[in-house]
């Protein structure tokens, strides 16, 4: 059962949440810090991807930092909100956070001399600034062991129904195994719940993320931005094996080579014409029939979320956000390894700031929480409908019919009763309403 009161409540047990917990307890070891999550084992995009590996994009000197900032700005091209302060912090502090990960014992790739192996990244093919660690269960174990030693409280098997900041921060948590929702009071709350990719019918996101973080944070009063900018990678249906659009027999030969240079779809890039030509053949189930078999653009990760300041604070006092549910440091397109970098840089800052808030506030009791409405049948049908529509209309910057589907989402939101369906529909509304609007 979740505790009724903690100093800092962290929602999410991925890389961002664990980093926030570690930094919070390192700054203030006497605080009572709880990490709540859906799963008790490694999960989500952080620890359950198909490659069992992740890369972190790190700048080790001023020249690399300057180049990184230029590349991110060029990739954004004015399409999405990009905060120059957050971008500069990410470039500046990545080396320190890489050192932290090495100190934790994460299994980074090394050469025969024991040196880290630098690699290139998607959207940054000429750089050698990405460092890969393999064995994600072991990486999770490195964080878990250190946090256990610091006295962190882990509460698996719960989902946040509602969250609040202000003078009475806290969250209402619902045990997934059954039982009544439990209110938890805190002095600061850090949201690290991942992005909305799990809401799509076709997704490469790992299990464990609830998918409705954008709706949850917006309901708490956080400003949201860039929600229409998700990463999409093409995969086979069934199987989810990666399919490179540049290898498609129908790809424009003049663009195919450039498209092979990166895995995700690129907003505003010239070679995106290859993806859009494929998508023009999309059928009602969100797939494209090719000689090689069926393929689909699969939601992978989000570049949008709650707008945060340099200390990962939302505009709601006492409510912070990091990882895939926060935005401002990437823009429309994200350089490979940039999200892992963001989880560590802003997860660290969120945890550090949360520790300060917790030591400077007595918190409050707050008003009573409203009991969540649970309608399992409505939820199952509604989430299936939403998943099908998002994978047909919201992908690759929006497909024909996305405005009509947005209207349908809003109509359904007016009558939906189940708490999880409402948050998911609200998240879908943010995605659809935040599309670039090319069509």
Residue 125's CATH number: 3.50.50.60
At residue 261, φ and ψ (nearest 5 deg) are -80, -5
Residue 2 domain-assigned?
Answer: no
Where is the domain boundary, 259, 276, 300? 300
296 plus 320 within the same structural domain: no
pLDDT of residue 283: 95
265 plus 175 within the same structural domain: no
Alpha carbon distance 287, 200 (integer Å) = 13
354 plus 413 within the same structural domain: no
3-state secondary structure 406-435: HHHHHHHHHHCCCHHHHHHHHHHHHHHHCC
How many domains are there within the chain?
3
220 plus 244 within the same structural domain: no
Alpha carbon distance 335, 339 (integer Å) = 8
Q: What angle do CA 51, 57, 62 make, to 5 degrees?
A: 165
Alpha carbon distance 295, 314 (integer Å) = 38
pLDDT of residue 24: 98
Nearest of 268, 342, 349, 335 to residue 305 by alpha carbon: 342
217 plus 236 within the same structural domain: no
Q: pLDDT per residue over 354-383, tens digit each?
A: 999 998 866 666 668 889 999 999 999 999
Nearest of 395, 435, 431 to residue 211 by alpha carbon: 431
Q: What are the CA-CA distances from residue 309 to residues 11, 199, 201, 353 (Å)? A: 19, 27, 33, 11
252 plus 166 within the same structural domain: no
Q: pLDDT per residue over 278-331, tens digit each?
A: 999 999 999 999 988 999 999 999 999 999 999 999 999 999 999 999 999 998
- Tokens at 423, concatenated: 């948050």
107 plus 129 within the same structural domain: yes
43 plus 178 within the same structural domain: yes
pLDDT of residue 361: 66
* Full residue range of the structural domain in which residue 285 is found: 230-300
Where is the domain boundary, 277, 300, 323? 300
Q: pLDDT per residue over 206-231, tens digit each?
A: 777 899 999 999 999 999 999 999 99
Where is the domain boundary, 300, 323, 339? 300
Residue 400 domain-assigned?
Answer: yes
pLDDT of residue 120: 94
Whose tokens are 């078999």? That residue is: 293
Residue 409 domain-assigned?
Answer: yes
Residue 342 domain-assigned?
Answer: yes
193 plus 99 within the same structural domain: yes
Q: pLDDT per residue over 422-437, tens digit each?
A: 999 999 999 999 998 7
Whose tokens are 């709601």? That residue is: 316
The parts of the chain modelled with pLDDT lower than 70 are 361-367, 438-439
Give 39's contacts (C-beta < 8 A, 6+ positions apart). 13, 156, 157, 207, 208
105 plus 188 within the same structural domain: yes
Residue 369 domain-assigned?
Answer: no
30 plus 161 within the same structural domain: yes
113 plus 161 within the same structural domain: yes
Alpha carbon distance 171, 163 (integer Å) = 4
Residue 136 domain-assigned?
Answer: yes
């Amino acid at each position: 059962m979740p505790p009724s009161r903690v100093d800092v409540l962290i929602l999410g047990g991925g890389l961002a949440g664990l980093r926030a917990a570690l930094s919070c307890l390192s700054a203030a070891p006497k605080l009572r810090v709880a990490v709540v999550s859906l799963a008790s084992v490694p999960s989500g995009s952080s620890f359950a991807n198909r490659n069992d590996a992740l890369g972190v994009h790190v700048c080790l000197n001023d020249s690399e930092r300057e180049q990184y900032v230029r590349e991110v700005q060029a990739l954004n091209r004015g399409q999405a909100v990009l905060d120059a302060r957050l971008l500069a912090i990410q470039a500046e502090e990545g080396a320190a956070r890489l050192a932290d990960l090495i100190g934790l014992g994460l299994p980074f790739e090394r050469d025969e001399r024991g040196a880290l192996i630098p690699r290139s990244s998607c959207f940054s093919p000429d750089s050698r600034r990405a460092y890969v660690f393999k064995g994600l269960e072991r990486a999770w174990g490195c964080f878990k062991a250190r946090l256990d030693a610091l006295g962190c409280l882990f509460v698996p098997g719960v989902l946040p129904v509602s969250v609040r900041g202000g003078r009475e921060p806290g969250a209402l948590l619902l045990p997934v195994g059954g039982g009544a929702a439990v209110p938890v009071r805190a002095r600061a709350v850090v949201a690290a719940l991942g992005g909305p990719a799990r809401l799509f019918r076709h997704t490469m996101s790992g299990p464990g993320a609830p998918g409705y973080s954008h709706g949850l944070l917006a309901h708490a009063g956080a400003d949201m931005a860039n929600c229409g900018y998700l990463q999409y990678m093409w995969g086979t249906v069934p199987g989810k094996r990666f399919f490179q659009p540049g290898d498609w027999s129908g790809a424009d030969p003049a663009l195919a080579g450039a498209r092979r240079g990166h895995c995700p779809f690129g907003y505003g890039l010239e070679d995106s014409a290859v993806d859009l030509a494929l998508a023009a053949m999309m059928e009602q189930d969100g797939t494209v029939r090719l000689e090689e078999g069926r393929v689909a653009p699969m939601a992978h990760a989000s570049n949008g979320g709650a707008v945060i300041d340099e200390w990962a604070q939302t505009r709601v006092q006492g409510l912070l956000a990091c990882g895939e549910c926060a935005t401002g440091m990437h823009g429309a397109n994200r350089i490979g390894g940039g999200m892992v970098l963001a989880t560590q840089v802003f997860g660290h800052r969120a945890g550090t700031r949360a520790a300060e808030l917790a030591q400077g506030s007595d918190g409050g009791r707050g008003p009573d929480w409203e009991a969540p409405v649970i309608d399992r049948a409505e939820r199952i049908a509604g989430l299936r409908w939403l998943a099908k529509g998002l994978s047909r209309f919201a992908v690759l910057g929006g497909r024909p019919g996305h405005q009509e589907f947005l209207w349908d989402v809003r109509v359904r939101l007016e009558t939906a009763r189940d708490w999880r369906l409402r948050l998911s529909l609200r998240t879908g509304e943010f995605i659809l309403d935040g599309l670039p609007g090319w069509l």
